[in-house]
Amino acid sequence: MKLLKPSWVSHNGKPIFSVDIHPDGTKFATGGQGEDSGKVVIWNMAPVLREEDEKNENIPKMLCQMDNHLACVNCVRWSNNGLYLASGGDDKLVMVWKRAAFIGPSTVFGSSSKLANVEQWRCVTILRNHTGDVMDVAWSPHDVWLASCSVDNTIVIWNARKFPEIVTSLKGHTSLVKGLTWDPVGKYIASQADDRSLKVWRTMDWQLETNITKPFNECGGTTHVLRLSWSPDGQYLVSAHAMNNSGPTAQIIERDGWKTNMDFVGHRKAVTVVKFNPKIFKKKQKNGSSQKGNGPYCCCAVGSKDRSLSVWLTSLKRPLVVIHDLFDKSIMDITWTLNGMGILVCSMDGTVAFLDFSLDELGDPLNEEEKNSIHQNIYGKSLAITNVEAQLSTTIIENPEMLKYQPDRQGAERAGVVPSAAHENQTPKLTNVVNGESLEDIRKNLLKKQVETRTADGRRRITPLCIAQLDTGDFSPALFNSVPILPGSSMSNQLTPQLSSESNASNSLGLRPLQDTSPGKASEDNKDG
C-alpha cells in the first residue's frame, strides 16, 4: 500500500466536505466551503498518480472551479456514465453540471489569470424543492434517478431523464437526513438520519420496506454526515454512526431479512462515512490460480471522527489496514477508483489523502461479466440489470484511451487474449462537431460576422461580438497526461510514492474484532492474525 497526501488539493484552507472520482479515473471533484460561497473544484488525477506529472508545470492540477452555490457544498457525485456532476449545498439547491466545449479561455470571476479554467463545466439545471440544507446526493444505477436528502427530513427522487421533474418525495424521517445509498441492482434506496433510524425504501412503489432502529438507539446527532454504503453484490448494507455496548461501530445489515448481527468495531469516535469498493474480489494463490473453497468477497472503507481510516475485507474478521491520525479533523467522504485499487479520502481540515493498494493486498477483481453473473444468480435475470452490454451502450466515455479500450477489450475477452501493446498505443482522432459543423468552422464564421467600421481619422473600430459557450454534448480527449484508470487494471506500476506507509499488520491495528461476526465466511487459513 502507498499513501500520498497532495498538498495542492485545497480549498484555500477551508473544509472539504465531499470528494468523488470520475468514472474514467482522469479527474476528481471536491466540494466544500469557498471564500464567500460554496465551492466545487474539478482536479486532474494525473499529478496525484505520478510524481513526474506533479512536478511538470505544463500539466495543470486544477481543471475547473465553480462558485455558483450560494453556501457551503456538502456533496458532489458524478453520474455513472460520467456525463454529469451533481452537487448539493447549504443553499438548499441541487445543481447538475455538464462539460461544455468553449471558445477561448475562461476564469473564475474575480480571480487572477493564473486560475483560468482548463475545462468548462456549466450548470445545466438547478433542482429546487428542499427547504433546508442538502446533505447528500446519489445517482441510481444507470442514472435513471437522482436522489437528494436534506435537513428538512425528506428525500427527493428526481427524474434524471427529465430534470427538474420530481418522481416522488420520501417522507418518514423525523430528523435531519444525512446519507443516501442505492441498492446496486436498483430495487432499494436506503437513508440514514439523526432520528436514530436507517430506512430502506422500495423503488417499485417508493414505500418503506423496513425501518431499522436498534443499532442506533444510543446514537446522538454528533456527525455532520451519515454516509452509508451498499456492497457491490447487494448482500450487505453498512451504516454510518451506530453503537454497540456504548462503543461506536458501523452496523452491517444483511439484505436477507435485514438482520443486524454484525458490525465493524474499533473506531474511538462516531463513524461518519462508509464506502464499499465497486469491485468484487477473489483471492489468488501465488501461482496465480484461484484458491479453492473461498468465494468472492467485498472490500469496505470506514472513516470516523477520530481522524482514522480502516479498510475491511468481508472474508476477514480483522481489518486489512488502519491508518491513525490521517488528518487533523474528521473524515468527511471516501471515493474509490473504478478499478478498485485506489481510494481518495477528504477531511474537514481541508486536505485529501490517496491510498494505492496492490492485487496482493486486495485480491483479484472480478470482471463485469462475473459480477453480473453473481447478480443474476442471487436476484434473477430480471433484477440483474447491470449487464456488460447495457453498461457499454449507456456509458459516455470522455477519453480516447477509453474509447478504444472498450471494443478492444470486448474482442480480447471473446478471443481469450489481451490486446497487444502496439495496438494499445494507437489513439483515435476525435473531432468536435456541432450540428454537422466543426468548431473550427464555427470560429471562422463568427469572425466573418464581425462588424468593422472606420472612424474619421481612419482607425478601425470592431463591434464586440458575444461568443457563447457551445454545448456539444461530446467531450474532447483527456488532457495533460490524464490516462484513464481502466477497469481491472492496477495503478501500482504507475505510481511513484511521495509519502509511503507500509501496510500495518492486523494484530497491531487497535481495532476490536467481534467474534464470529465476519460478514464473509472465511476459512481459518484466510484470516489475518
| 444 and 352 within one domain | no
Identify the weakest region by mean pLDDT among 195-204, 248-257, 376-385, 441-450.
Answer: 441-450
| 456 and 348 within one domain | no
Say if 405 falls within a structural domain: no
Evaluate if residue 345 carries a pLDDT over 80: yes
Look at residue 40 and give its three-state secondary structure. strand
- Encode pLDDT of 40-64 as tens digits: 999 999 999 988 999 988 899 999 9
**Cell numbers for 252:** 452491517
Say if 471 falls within a structural domain: no
Say if 479 falls within a structural domain: no
Residues 112, 63, 65: CA angle, nearest 5 degrees: 60
Mean pLDDT of the 182-190 span: 94
| 55 and 141 within one domain | yes
- Cα–Cα distance, 244 to 493 (Å, whole number): 41
Q: What is the total count of domains within the chain? A: 2
Say if 475 falls within a structural domain: no
Q: Among 41, 87, 32, which Cα is nearest to 60's?
A: 41
- Residue where the block lists cell 489513439: 427
pLDDT band at 397 (very low <50, low <70, confident <90, very high): very low
| 304 and 230 within one domain | yes
pLDDT band at 377 (very low <50, low <70, confident <90, very high): confident
| 449 and 334 within one domain | no
| 452 and 347 within one domain | no
Which structural domain range is residue 290 located in? Answer: 2-365+502-526
299 within 8 A of 310, measured Cβ to Cβ: no
**Cell numbers for 316:** 476477514
pLDDT band at 492 (very low <50, low <70, confident <90, very high): very low
Evaluate if residue 496 carries a pLDDT over 80: no
Q: What number of H helices and E strands is found in the chain?
A: 8, 37
pLDDT at site 178: 96
pLDDT at site 446: 57
**Cell numbers for 59:** 500539466
50 within 8 A of 6, measured Cβ to Cβ: no
pLDDT at site 259: 93
Element (H, E) at 106: strand 106-107
| 125 and 44 within one domain | yes
| 165 and 48 within one domain | yes
pLDDT at site 100: 86
| 447 and 352 within one domain | no
| 201 and 88 within one domain | yes
Say if 18 falls within a structural domain: yes
| 103 and 51 within one domain | yes
- Encode pLDDT of 11-38 as tens digits: 999 999 999 999 999 999 999 998 888 9
Q: Considering 443, 462, 481, which residue would you say is the last residue of a domain?
A: 462
Say if 402 falls within a structural domain: no
**Pairing between strand 433-434 and 188-193?**
unpaired
Say if 413 falls within a structural domain: no
pLDDT band at 373 (very low <50, low <70, confident <90, very high): confident
Evaluate if residue 348 carries a pLDDT over 60: yes
pLDDT band at 405 (very low <50, low <70, confident <90, very high): very low
Mean pLDDT of the 71-77 span: 96
Say if 92 falls within a structural domain: yes
Longest Cα–Cα distance in the chain:
94
Looking up residue 180, the CATH number of its domain turns out to be 2.130.10.10
301 within 8 A of 311, measured Cβ to Cβ: yes
- Encode pLDDT of 264-317 as tens digits: 999 999 999 999 999 999 987 565 555 555 789 999 999 999 999 999 999 898
| 352 and 271 within one domain | yes
The secondary structure of 467-491 as a DSSP string is: -PPB--SS-PPPPTT-----TT--S
